[in-house]
């Protein structure tokens, strides 16, 4: 019998709560048994966007209210998943809840990262032990607190015979470099924007939450002058470890970079799609020049224009998604947090210092025990 864990995440895109049930087999490999994407209704999405936009100026009232609302919503998503899978709370070893990032500031004198969705509520409502707050222990050890998924990528996507890179395209894009064999360290970092700028631009001009299938971008042409201007941001050339978020890559960042450039909205959209493709592929070429295969996951893997541009820019690199290694690209991140909860309960570390820059490996997160 596998041991069951549940992973919960609401990413930077705020498109949905992703909930997955994994079974951990004896070999330490996870298998996805059931999954669920619960849309985040407008009554939470709108104040959440407002909170994130305000960043350091948000009020404690806004923050604590959304912490409770999201905690309840996460617990409800778990209950729905259990029903779908025909399991009950006591059959689940633990939930790994990433939460919703509302503030991520890894640099400077007071580095911090805040994820909300109160784990006390999740544990109390579901009756399942909940592990949460995964990032801050790594930060306490001097790390970026991100990306946190590379240890999981290593466990499931590593190959003995080929050099691989996993590319996760959520709101922000991150890469995990997996050299073949087991001798070289795994590296990885946030490369910059994934879908977030494309989403924001589509919302502004079409009032839609995403550029479905890249249709808006397809109508435009890339403005090379604007692209160069955007790529000149020093985040892209900065060495790792590095991580970023919507606090940095947002509409203000984009508008600030326009300068005198005039473009049609669809040309800007095409340029933003190209920005994601070029910044990810440049990061791979620079930090992992021997890459033989790319495995893509995250919502951006559904954008055919983005995928075809990355594929083209990759030249001879074999281009795949994570399904080829057994995990559906939509569920990789949530599965990673279920897996990390397992690591924490076992007393094993979940961060990779070679990725985050932490001084040491750490057992991540706080444990909120199931009721008595």
Distance, C-alpha 59 to centroid of its chain: 25
**Residue 11 interacts with Mg ion (CB under 5 A): yes or no:** yes
**Residue 13 interacts with Mg ion (CB under 5 A): yes or no:** yes
Q: Which is nearer to ligand ADP, 35 or 129 (CB)?
A: 35
How far apart CA 190 and CA 282 sit, in angstroms, is: 12
Helix (H, G, I), strand (E, B) or coil at 292: coil
104 neighbors 245 (Cβ within 8 angstroms)? yes
CB of 259 to ligand ADP, least distance (A): 26
Q: E strands of 60-163, at which residues?
A: 92-105, 112-116, 130-132
Q: Which is nearer to ligand ADP, 137 or 302 (CB)?
A: 302
| Binding-site string for ligand ADP from residue 269 to residue 298, where x marks contact by CB under 6 A and - marks none | -----------------------------x
- Residue 339, Ramachandran bin (φ over 0: left; ψ between -120 and 50: alpha; else beta): alpha
157 neighbors 164 (Cβ within 8 angstroms)? yes
Length of the chain: 372
How many C-beta neighbours within 10 Å does residue 304 have? 12
Helix (H, G, I), strand (E, B) or coil at 172: strand
Q: Which is nearer to ligand ADP, 82 or 332 (CB)?
A: 332
Q: What are phi and psi of 352, to 5 degrees?
A: -115, 105
Picking from 93, 103, 99, 148, the residue whose alpha carbon sits closest to that of residue 119 is 99
Picking from 14, 101, 103, the residue whose alpha carbon sits closest to that of residue 57 is 103
**Residue 35 interacts with Mg ion (CB under 5 A): yes or no:** no
**Residue 303 interacts with Mg ion (CB under 5 A): yes or no:** no
CB of 250 to ligand ADP, least distance (A): 13
| Binding-site string for ligand ADP from residue 146 to residue 175, where x marks contact by CB under 6 A and - marks none | ------------------------xx----
**Residue 211 interacts with ligand ADP (CB under 6 A): yes or no:** yes
248 neighbors 277 (Cβ within 8 angstroms)? no
How far apart CA 267 and CA 219 sit, in angstroms, is: 8
CB of 83 to ligand ADP, least distance (A): 23
Q: Which of Mg ion, ligand ADP, none does residue 245 bind to, with CB < 5 to 8 Å depending on kind?
A: none
Q: Which of Mg ion, ligand ADP, none does residue 266 bind to, with CB < 5 to 8 Å depending on kind?
A: none
- Selected from 8, 15, 102, 106, the binder of Mg ion by CB under 5 A is 15
- Selected from 104, 302, 309, 343, the binder of ligand ADP by CB under 6 A is 302
Q: Which is nearer to ligand ADP, 171 or 179 (CB)?
A: 171
Q: Which of Mg ion, ligand ADP, none does residue 171 bind to, with CB < 5 to 8 Å depending on kind?
A: ligand ADP
Q: Structure tokens of 171?
A: 């709101």
Interface ranges with Mg ion (CB under 5 A): 11, 13, 15
Interacting residues with ligand ADP (CB under 6 A): 11-13, 15, 170-171, 195, 198-199, 210-214, 298-300, 302-303, 333
């Amino acid at each position: 019998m596998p041991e069951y864990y549940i992973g919960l995440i609401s990413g930077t895109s705020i498109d949905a709560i992703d909930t997955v049930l994994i079974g951990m087999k004896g070999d330490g490999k996870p298998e996805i048994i059931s999954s669920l994407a619960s849309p985040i209704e407008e009554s939470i999405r709108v104040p959440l966007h407002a909170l994130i936009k305000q960043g350091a100026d948000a009020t404690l009232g806004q923050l604590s209210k959304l912490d409770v609302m999201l905690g309840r919503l996460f617990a409800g998503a778990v209950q729905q998943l259990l029903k779908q899978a025909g399991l009950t709370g006591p059959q689940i070893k633990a939930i790994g809840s990433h939460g919703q990032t509302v503030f991520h500031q890894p640099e400077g004198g007071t580095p911090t990262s805040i994820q909300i969705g109160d784990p006390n509520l999740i544990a109390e409502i579901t009756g399942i032990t909940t592990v949460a707050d995964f990032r801050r222990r790594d930060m306490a050890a001097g790390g970026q607190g991100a990306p946190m998924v590379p240890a999981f990528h290593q466990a499931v996507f590593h190959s003995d015979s080929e050099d691989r890179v996993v590319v996760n395209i959520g709101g922000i894009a991150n890469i995990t470099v997996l050299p073949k064999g087991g001798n070289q360290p795994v590296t990885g970092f946030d490369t910059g924007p994934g879908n977030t700028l494309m989403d924001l631009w589509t919302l502004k001009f079409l009032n839609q939450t995403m550029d479905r299938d890249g249709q808006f971008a397809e109508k435009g042409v890339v403005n090379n002058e604007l692209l160069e201007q955007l790529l000149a941001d020093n985040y892209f050339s900065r060495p790792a470890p590095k991580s970023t978020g919507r606090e940095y890559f947002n509409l203000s960042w984009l508008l600030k970079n326009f300068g005198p450039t005039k473009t049609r909205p669809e040309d800007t959209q095409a340029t933003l799609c190209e920005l994601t493709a070029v910044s990810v592929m440049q990061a791979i070429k620079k930090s992992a020049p021997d890459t033989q295969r790319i495995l893509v996951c995250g919502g951006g893997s559904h954008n055919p224009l983005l995928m075809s541009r990355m594929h083209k820019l990759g030249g001879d690199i074999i281009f795949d998604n994570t399904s080829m290694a057994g995990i559906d690209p939509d569920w990789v991140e949530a599965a990673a947090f279920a897996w990390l909860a397992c690591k924490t309960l076992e007393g094993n570390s979940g961060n990779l210092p070679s990725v985050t820059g932490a001084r040491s490996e750490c057992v991540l997160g706080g444990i909120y025990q199931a009721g008595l």
